[in-house]
Every structure is written in structure tokens, then in C-alpha cells.
Amino acid sequence: MSLHKRLGIPNSETQTEKEVTLKLTQGELEALLIGLGEATFKGKQVESVYKLAVKLQLEIDKLK
């Protein structure tokens, strides 16, 4: 057993992100994208919000 498991510290290399599949309408995707655009984010949040916005835009483009 590794030390990080004994101490209860999560190992970021072994953790994987889980994914969920949602079915959203074009209007719902656009509402989420607009909401992101009107919100204020700081620091590390900016990069993850940007990536989310790109994903939303790609999904909107698929529906057009």
C-alpha cells in the first residue's frame, strides 16, 4: 500500500474524471453559454470555464 493511501491523501495521477451524458436542447445549451458569459470568474476557474464554454459551443454547432 502506498503512503498516500495510508494517509488518506488522494493521488491525482490515479484519479480519473467521470463523465455524464446529458441531452440538452439548443436553447438550453445557449442559456448555459450565455450564463457563463455573464458570470465573473477568478484565477484557476477561468481556464476550466473557457474549456466548458468551448464544449458548449461545439454542441450548439452540432445542432445547427
Residue 42 lies in a domain: yes
Contact 59, 29 (CB under 8 A): yes
pTM for this prediction: 0.68
Residue 1 lies in a domain: no
Non-local (6+) Cβ contacts of 5 within 8 A are 11
Residue 32 lies in a domain: yes
Q: How many domains does the chain have?
A: 1
Residue owning grid cell 454547432: 61
Instruction: Render pLDDT for 50-60 as a digit per residue (tens, 0 to 9).
Output: 999 999 999 99
Give the residue numbers spanning the domain of 64. 23-64
Residue 59 lies in a domain: yes
Q: What is the CA radius of gyration of the chain?
A: 17
* Cα first-last separation, the chain: 51
Residue 2 lies in a domain: no
Residue 10 lies in a domain: no
Residue 5 lies in a domain: no
Instruction: Render pLDDT for 8-49 as a digit per residue (tens, 0 to 9).
Output: 666 555 557 788 899 999 999 999 999 999 999 989 899 999
Residue 3 lies in a domain: no
